[in-house]
Amino acid sequence: MTHIFQVDLSGLIDLLSQHLYSGPQVYLRELLQNGADALRARENLEGRAPGGICVEVGQQQGRPLLVVHDSGVGLTEEEVHRFLATIGSSSKRGGGDFIGRFGIGLLSCFVVSDEIVLRTRSVRGGPAVEWHGKADGTYTVQLLEEDLPFGSQVTLLCKAGSEDYFDPEQVRSLCVRYGDLLPYPIRVGALDGPLEICNAQVAPWARSYASADERDAALRAYGRTLLGAEPFDWFPLSAPSSGLEGVAFVLPRSAQAGSRPTATLYLRDMLLAERDEDLLPPWAFFVHGAFNARTLQPTASRETLQQNAVFRATRHELEVGLRAYLEGLAARDPERMQQLLRLHHLPLRALAADDDAFYRLIALHLAFETSQGRLTLAEILRSGGPLRFVPDLDQFRQVAQIAAARGEVIVNAAYTYDATLLEKLNRVFPEHRAIRVDAGGIAAGLEDLSPAESAEGSRLLAAARHALEDLDCEPRLKRFAPAELPALYVLDREANAARNRQRSREVSDALWSALLDDLTETDSSGARLYLNFDNPTVRQLARLEDGPVLRRVVQTLYLQALLLGHHPLSTHELDLLSGSLAEMIGWGLRAARSLN
């Protein structure tokens, strides 16, 4: 035996309001959709759609009342029975340039009203019809003798608790929100009072402008409305596969890494979503789109899109357009491109580090701190030879002065994602080479002294070894630029780790201090103090006899090199600094007294 499903309409209404739709306010969107689809149907039938949609707010028996009428195609008696008595049936089934489904859309009105009265007259002929539906699932249909104008009129009487959705200002705001781009005028006002058109009827990007400047000003004003701030930039963006047209606005604020791109999305002129997160490619988080599509398909809630083949083709075309914008911006206005990369530097770097295709697109435009100032990757590669980078900030500071004086480019890759981005160069752009270096490797290239100079500096070197004996630092004599730099302190990776453990031991409790002591016992020093034989002070020191003054000056040069390299001083080094200052002040005072 065949049975027929029974539908609990009150349960279905609860499902619509609590789970399918984002909120009760969508009832007005559904009524506007039905009106717009009816006007399109009449336009297809007769070649024109006179009038538009009227939305009137009033009172009946002390309760808010809403009346929405359109001059569209209307329904016949048979269509009323067929489409309004069967849940899920639609007068628009089969496609066409329609937005929604009349039956399921009208049901959404039960979210805010216990009764719906539809009065309609079809342009195809037949008498006017009145359909009166109730939330309990019952309805009546009667033919009307009066000669109604072609179209449909829906009347809703507010149910308790829904008064806010019948507020005149709220109704007008919702009409603008959902129907601003509908090509038919939406007139809003008080029942039996004057009505005013509230919608623009055409998208800002689709209007005609007297000049490019006027267009730019209008779209920037529209961007300010969407973003709440002046957009960094805007550019047209389209997808022919779905008839999508619109613009993309570059956000004026830095987006967080991992955030998704958003779009204000219209479907056949009706607002579908104010913050759609699916249509734009995930890497385009730095833009907000505003689009109107023709052939994309909505889901049942009409607040998101079906992710079918047309959707995927559209997203691919948008991705191509976004890449073209970035490439074009870099070519025609490199400084503006740098401003964009600085504005969204961290999330853009994060994406480039993770996505090879995006890396190819922007890598050469990314800027890095180097020993020759801030340079783009393209400028660094033009300097010739392999790209050398130091992933540790302290080590970069140690060698930056020397590299700069020698005209060499060393990249500071200590900042987030930079080392990953530079190492990726070898794989994505195999014609280039990036190598990781450290301060020790750079120092290994310092110029050795001649035999005569080594002999001249031997006394200084011996004194320096004695002065630095308890500081785990080996002195070396070299020549390097700039000559103004008397000493360079260099740590290899192991020595740097050991120094950090020593600093931690000094500020930790007994348990951690003991543990760090055990680790420190295995450390072998890789610290070097390079004394610059080209520096006048160092040359003068080489002529001094070994003694307290020479050793104290060497220790002072050691401390200066630590500070120039931004190395925190240990407790022992702080004591040494205090002692050196006190001793030198004493020497100065004694020298002053002897002169007097």
- 222-233 per-position pLDDT tens digit: 999 999 999 999
Regarding pTM above 0.85, the answer is no
User: Residue 147, CB half-sphere, CA atoms under 13 Å: how many?
Assistant: 0
Buried b (16+ CB within 10 A) or exposed e, 116-144: bbbbbbbbeeeebbbbebebeeebeeeee
CA 191 to chain CA centroid, Å, is: 46
Q: Determine the average pLDDT of the residues in 185-207.
A: 95
Residue reference for tokens 């520096």: 535
Q: In this model, does residue 513 exceed pLDDT 60?
A: no
Which phi and psi (to 5°) does residue 192 adopt? Answer: 65, 15
In this predicted structure, the answer to whether residue 402 has a pLDDT above a threshold of 60 is yes
Averaged over 95-107, what is the pLDDT? Answer: 49
Nearest-angstrom CA–CA distance, 11 and 19 = 11
Q: CATH assignment of 9-197?
A: 3.30.565.10
3-class DSSP state of 352 = helix
Q: Which amino acid is at 282?
A: P
pLDDT, position 596? 66
In this prediction, residue 93 has a pLDDT band, given cuts at 50, 70 and 90, of very low
Residue 272: HSE in the Cβ half-sphere, 13 Å Cα cutoff: 29
Higher pLDDT, 98 or 47: 47
Within 10 angstroms of residue 107's Cβ, the number of other Cβ atoms is 22
3-state secondary structure of 292: strand
The residue ranges of every structural domain in the chain are 9-197, 366-443, 451-595
| Main-chain dihedrals φ then ψ at residue 71, nearest 5 degrees | -105, 40
CA-closest candidate to residue 139, choices 228, 304, 9: 9
Side-chain half-sphere of 185: how many Cα atoms within 13 Å?
A: 8
- Helix, strand, or coil (residue 68): strand
Q: What is the mean pLDDT of the chain?
A: 86
Please say if the pLDDT value at position 6 is more than 60: no
Higher local confidence (pLDDT), 509 or 149: 149
pLDDT given at position 391: 92
Q: Side-chain half-sphere of 149: how many Cα atoms within 13 Å?
A: 9
The two structure tokens encoding residue 229: 């701030």
Top-level class of domain 451-595: mainly alpha
* Dihedral sign (CA 390, 393, 394, 399): positive
Q: What are phi and psi of 276, to 5 degrees?
A: -65, 135
d(CA 284, CA 319): 8
Known binding-site residues equal 30, 34, 70
What average pLDDT does the segment 450-464 reach? 92
Check residue 512 and give its pLDDT.
46
The pLDDT score that the predictor gives to residue 102 is 39
> Side-chain half-sphere of 241: how many Cα atoms within 13 Å?
14
Give the integer Cα–Cα distance in Å for 509 and 512.
Answer: 6
Which pLDDT does position 521 carry in this prediction?
Answer: 47
pLDDT at 522: 44
Binding site for ATP: which residues? 30, 34, 70
Instruction: Check residues 493 and 112 and name the one with the higher pLDDT.
Output: 112
pLDDT for 259 beyond 60: yes
Instruction: Give the CATH architecture of domain 366-443.
Output: 3-Layer(aba) Sandwich (3.40)
Name the DSSP letter for residue 182: -
Q: How confident is the model at residue 336 (pLDDT cuts 50, 70, 90)?
A: very high
Helices within 270-355 (DSSP H only) = 309-332, 334-343, 345-354
Rounded average pLDDT over 25-35 = 92
Count of other CB atoms within 10 angstroms of residue 492: 19
Q: Exposed, middle or buried by CB within 10 Å (0-12, 13-18, 19+), for 261?
A: buried
**If we measure between CA atoms, which residue out of 444, 531, 433, 418 comes closest to residue 483?**
531
Contact by Cβ (8 Å): 251, 344: yes
For the residues of 442-502, what is the DSSP string, one character each?
A: HHTTSBPPPHHHHHHHHHHHHHHHHHTGGGT-EEEEEB-S-TT--EEEEE-HHHHHHHHHH
**Which pLDDT score, from 0 to 100, does residue 494 have?**
67
